[in-house]
Structure 1
Amino acid sequence: MSVAATLLPDYQFCERHQRQCRATPAALIAAVPRVQPQSLPLVRVLLQLRELPARLLRDPARQGRPLFGLHEFTLLHRDEHSLALGLAGRFWRRDFGLASIADADGFRSFAEPGVPRLLLTFQAQANDGGSLLCTETRVHCPDRASRLRFWPYWLAIRLASGLIRRQMLAAIEQAACKPD
């Protein structure tokens, strides 16, 4: 059973991307935490656009905070072939409505009404040309109300989210191929 199937077997929304890479699976997975998506120029612009309403309205929940990034996620799993990060929140809100998740057990058992869980995984598999690096994002909405709120948000951010994931995969490969 995959890490994603163990951590979030039921979900309503999913997005997958992959990239053929020159690095080993272990090097790719080790590089994931070193990549800060908000430091990538295109990703930074997309995140700034996403956070613009909160900043214009001087939302106290976002004032003085860095751009949304992987630092908001909880590490749920890591081995030499995969890494999983989790997040819970009302993502459609200006401040993302984030809830605290302590660990993998807390993520699996989190069941606050109206608060979706998001699982972001990276998996790397060796193949003839190096490794195939895959990322998958799954979102589970616990009830009809959260699905109805999340659906328009998903439609609005899906294209940008895909661009961000592809930029991240390229940056992970680049980081994995750099000598230390």
Structure 2
Amino acid sequence: MPAEEKAPTRLDEVMPQWHFRKRRHQVRVDGSGEAVLRAVIQVTWSEVPLFSSLLRVASFGRVRRDPDRSVLDEFLSSGFVVLSRTDRELVMGAVSGSEPFPGDQGGDARLDWFLAYAEPQSTKVAFSFRYADGVLSTETRVFGADEPARRQFRRYWTLIRLPAGLVRREILHAVRRRIES
């Protein structure tokens, strides 16, 4: 196991237990941690055409993305929140159901709420982008609060697992192209 995988990550703290995991995808990138994470945040839909196309197909053409909008901005507007950000790692999360993050909680209060949340039939999703030793990686973890939640998510996971991996690789390569240009 590479040294970078042995060190605990913020994702390990945010989602120490999970039922589903999309393994780490990674790409070599030359740059500072802050520059690489800034590029992650700035990647637009026009830089990830496969992702955009898959979403359009899945919505039967009803959903179209602004090609100049940041992909992560789209995640933020759809219920995901930043749970942790350092100069080398960004962790975002969401909870199934209605508005999961009450009020304007921020920082530690938001993270504490996320860690404690376990309503019946709910799922929590956390994903990260991490830059260490010249490698940018991404990983997703999902926790189902109970067996009905895990059963429901398992069906969804079966459908999206392969396309999600392709999308994650596409985002990583878009970040590398941004840094290299």
Q: Is 1:111 matched with 2:114?
A: no
- C-alpha displacement of 1:49: 2.4
- C-alpha displacement of 1:98: 5.3
Q: 1:162 maps to which residue?
A: 165
What letter is aligned with 1:124?
Answer: Y
Q: 2:81 maps to which residue?
A: 74
Identify if the C-alpha distance between structure 1 residues 160 and 7 changes in structure 2 by more than 3 Å, giving closer, same or farther: same
Q: 2:17 maps to which residue?
A: 10
More displaced stretch, 65-74 vs 35-44? 65-74
- C-alpha displacement of 1:35: 1.5
CA separation in 2, counterparts of 1:152 and 1:136? 20
What letter is aligned with 2:92?
Answer: L
For 1:120-162, what per-residue CA distance to the aligned partner results, in whole angstroms no more than 9, with x for missing partners?
A: 1011012xxxx10010000001100011111111011011100
More displaced stretch, 102-111 vs 135-144? 102-111
CA separation in 2, counterparts of 1:24 and 1:4? 20
For 1:89-124, what per-residue CA distance to the aligned partner results, in whole angstroms no more than 9, with x for missing partners?
A: 2xxxxxxx5542253222212222111010010110
User: Unpaired runs of 5+ in structure 2?
Assistant: 1-7
What letter is aligned with 1:147?
Answer: R
Task: List, as ranges, runs of 4+ consecutive aligned residues in structure 1 with deviation greater than 4 Å.
Answer: 64-68
| Percent of matched pairs sharing the same residue | 30
Identify if the C-alpha distance between structure 1 residues 159 and 38 changes in structure 2 by more than 3 Å, giving closer, same or farther: farther
**Contact 2:81/2:94 (8 A) holds in 1:** yes
For 1:150-178, what per-residue CA distance to the aligned partner results, in whole angstroms no more than 9, with x for missing partners?
A: 11110110111001100110112222334
**Contact 1:37/1:164 (8 A) holds in 2:** no
Listed as ranges, the matches of 1:34-73 within 5 Å are 34-37=42-45, 40-52=48-60, 55=62, 69-71=74-76, 72=78, 73=80
Q: 1:150 maps to which residue?
A: 153
What letter is aligned with 1:100?
Answer: P
Q: Is 1:136 matched with 2:139?
A: yes
Q: 1:27 maps to which residue?
A: 35
- C-alpha displacement of 1:17: 0.6
User: Unpaired runs of 5+ in structure 1?
Assistant: 56-61, 90-96
Give secondary structure in 2 for the equivalent of 1:157: helix
- C-alpha displacement of 1:39: 5.7
CA separation in 2, counterparts of 1:139 and 1:37? 24
What letter is aligned with 1:21?
Answer: V
Identify if the C-alpha distance between structure 1 residues 65 and 142 changes in structure 2 by more than 3 Å, giving closer, same or farther: farther
Give secondary structure in 2 for the equivalent of 1:10: coil
Q: Cα RMSD (Å) of the superposition? A: 2.5
